Chains A and B, each alone.
Chain A
Amino acid sequence: MTEPEFRFRLARRSTAVLLYVLTFAVTALVLLGFARGTHAMVTAVWEGIVG
């Protein structure tokens, strides 16, 4: 396979780096949502059972 030229590689790798950042951001948001949901559920369970 011929070696892709510099600009092509640059565009491809820039896209990859942008995707890493986006993936990190989306995952962080999802995990934050998980944490908050879990906290809300635990609180609800405690208040529902213990009062």
Chain B
Amino acid sequence: MTTPASRFESRGVFVVVALVAVLMAVYIAAGDEPMERVAFLVGGFVVVLAVALAGALLLLVWVFVRNVHAVLYHGENPRVPELGPDEPAGYRYHGGPAWWDFGEVAIRVGNQTGLFVVFLLPYLLAQALVLLCHMIVAWVGVVVLRLVDGGLLRFRRIRMLCPSCFQHMAYPSYECGGCGRVHRDVRPGRRGVFRRRCVCGQPMPTLLVLGSADLDALCPYCDQRLEHRPGESRELSLALFGGTGAGKTRLTHGFHGALEHAAGAHGGASVELAGAETQHSLSDSQDLLSPGRKVPPTQPGRQARGLVLRVTAERRTLVLQVYDTAGEWFNRSDRAEELTYLGKTTTFVLVLDPLSVPSVWSTLDPSERSRLSEERSHTPDPEQAYMQVRDEVQRQYRALGRGLGRTRLAVVVSRGDLLAGTSIAPDGAEPELWAREMMGLDNLLRAARDDFGTVEVFVTSAVSDPGRRPDPSLAELLRWLLEPEADVFTSMLTPEGAAAEGVQ
């Protein structure tokens, strides 16, 4: 429906066009070369049209640049969400905001230019390509760094085991040094390539190779503090098992004492008790190893937990996790099932009290029995604990799809110091032969050789001499246990190793 105003406007346009046409006709007719004048007018029309189109394009480009400036340069993008309360670190530009910015620019430009946005498609495409290049560089960096870090862990055969919940962790969680916030996965990704920044502003390295071991680590499964700098060095787990009172705890103190003694005799070596639990349990090893001192038994109700020792020698470090669990845990299969570290350990130590074996006890003469009666534990059948643990180890290994071919078992006959001087003392006899003949371990050892990859028998004395030197049998046992690790740890435990350092 036409209104009087629109009719007036159309008439006005018509008048202007007619006037221009008349002027052009007059211009052409007035000259000597009318064709030149026609060409001049057509050419002029083309130029004016081109200038108008160029102006329109510049206007559109200005709209695009203005929006890029507002969104990217000034950060005016409501699409970038605020961090949630559980998010420990903000996203880096490649981790989402780049595309959110692109979306915001495209929507703003579309709203402001309408259908003319098609002329800006090459510019939006250019922005998408720039962002794509940015993303490719960042994510290639992420992948390369993760591969390098993972490759180094694999190459150095480092596996991280939580001594509290016995879970293998791909990577520890880390606590921010500034605010204590826990970062579940610090590895390169959306929140940072080389470093991430906690919401409190504290920068954190994203990988072990970049120094994340310096941060406070936590188990990602149970949130227990891991004070042994997991991931930095190889870890060796030793699972001790045996009947109640067999001497597992004393042997653990013996390991600590022997390692400390060897480290003291070896320049530059050290043994560090990692974590409050280990310090509490092993700080008095030297005293407890004195002859005549009794080691309090491990409480049956106490939650099983690994004791962690960091052994350093010649700039190499080994994290030794010793699992000393009360003998009662090995009596029932439902309790042994809780000891999930058995499936993650490759080195096992079966501790046997020779005095508890009835055949050994009956061989002693009455005066010896009377002298040793208080030292005797009451687990008459050493095979019971062995079978229970063997079944559980096999079950857990099967569940993980692994075989027992690479496992090692040390059968340790404890209380060598008490046997000395008795009628059944090994006195230099070959330990395995002595154990077979005197303790009747034929069946057990035959089964052990079938079940485990490598089996060795030791007779040990977890006592120190008056000079507070631990019994050499402990160093011999430790040498065997640490054999798969770097030579520096086994040579540290040899008398020659100590002598080479010039220390007696």
Chain A interface (Cβ within 8 Å of chain B)? 1-2, 4-5, 7-9, 11-13, 15-20, 22-23, 26-27, 30-31, 34-35, 37-38, 41-42, 45-46, 48-50
Taking a contact as CB atoms under 8 Å apart, the answer to whether B127 and A49 are in contact is no
Cβ B90 vs Cβ A26 within 8 A = no
A12-B93, A12-B101, A31-B54 known; A23 vs B123 contact (CB < 8 Å): yes
Q: Among the interface residues B35, B36, B64, B73, which one has the most CB atoms of the partner chain A within 10 A?
A: B73
Q: How many A-B residue pairs have CB under 8 A?
A: 102
Interface of chain B residues 123 through 140 with chain A (CB within 8 A):
123, 126-127, 130-131, 134
Write out the residue numbers on chain A whose beta carbons fall within 8 Å of the beta carbon of B68.
16, 19-20, 23
By the criterion CB–CB under 8 Å, are A37 and B197 in contact? no
Bound Cα distance A18, B63 (Å): 17
B72 at the interface (CB under 8 A from A): yes
Does the CB pair B98–A15 fall under 8 Å? yes
Q: Tell whether, in the assembled complex, residue B94 and residue A2 are in contact, meaning their CB atoms are under 8 Å apart.
A: no
- The interface residues of chain A lying within 8 Å CB-to-CB of B73 are 12-13, 16-17
- B332-344 contact mask (Cβ, 8 Å, vs A): 1 or 0: 0000000000000
Q: How many residues of B contact A (CB 8 A)?
A: 42
Q: Nearest chain B CB to A16's CB is how many angstroms away?
A: 4
- Interface stretch among B43-51, B147-155, B368-376, B382-390? B43-51
- The answer to whether A1 touches B97, judged by C-beta atoms less than 8 angstroms apart, is no
The answer for the CA separation of A7 and B59 in the assembled complex, in Å, is 33
Chain A residues with Cβ below 8 Å from B54 are 31, 34
Q: Inside 8 A of A45's CB, which chain B residues have their CB?
A: 39, 42-43, 46
The listed residue (B58, B72, B91) touching A16 by CB distance below 8 A is B72
| Nearest-CB residue, chain B, relative to A19 | B68
Indicate if the CB atoms of B130 and A12 lie closer than 8 Å. Answer: no
Q: A35 to B97, alpha carbons, bound, how many Å?
A: 39
Contact partners of A27 in chain B: CB under 8 A? 57-58, 61
Which of A4, A5, A15 counts the most B-chain CB atoms under 10 A from its CB? A15
Given known A-B contacts A4-B90, A8-B93, A11-B94, A26 and B42 have beta carbons under 8 A apart: no
Extra 4 A-B pairs, beta carbons < 8 Å, given A31-B57, A38-B47: A2-B83, A9-B75, A12-B101, A49-B35
Give every chain A residue within 8 A of B90 (Cβ-Cβ).
2, 4-5, 8
State A16–B325 Cα separation when bound (angstroms): 62
Kindly report which residue of chain A lies nearest to residue B44, judged by CB atoms: A42
On B, residues with C-beta under 8 Å from A are 33, 35-36, 38-39, 42-43, 46-47, 50, 53-54, 57-58, 61, 64-65, 68-69, 72-73, 75, 82-83, 90-94, 97-98, 101, 122-123, 126-127, 130-131, 134, 197, 199, 201
Residues B35 and A4 in contact, CB atoms below 8 Å apart: no
Given contacts A7-B92, A42-B46, A42-B47, contact A26 B123 (CB under 8 A): yes
Give the distance to chain A from B58, nearest Cβ to Cβ, in Å.
7
Q: Do the beta carbons of B39 and A49 come within 8 Å of each other?
A: yes
Closest to B126 in A: A22
Q: B92, A11: Cβ atoms under 8 Å? A: yes
Taking a contact as CB atoms closer than 8 A, the residue among B33, B47, B82, B122 that contacts A2 in the complex is B82
Whether B36 lies near A15 (C-beta < 8 A) is no
Interfacial chain A residues near B64, Cβ < 8 Å: 23
Inter-chain contact A15/B72, CB cutoff 8 Å: yes
Whether B72 and A19, one on each chain, are in contact in the complex, defined by CB atoms closer than 8 angstroms, is yes
Q: Known contacts being A5-B201, A30-B57, A34-B53, is A12 close to B39, with CB within 8 Å?
A: no
> B122–A26 contact, CB under 8 A?
yes
- Given A4-B75, A12-B101, A20-B65, A49 contacting B122 (CB threshold 8 A): no
Across the interface, which residues of A come within 8 angstroms of B91, CB to CB? 8
B407 to chain A, nearest CB (A): 48
- Take A42-B47, A45-B39 as given contacts and tell me if A15 and B65 are in contact as well, using a CB distance cutoff of 8 Å: no
Q: Give the CA-CA distance A35 to B83 in the complex, in Å.
A: 50
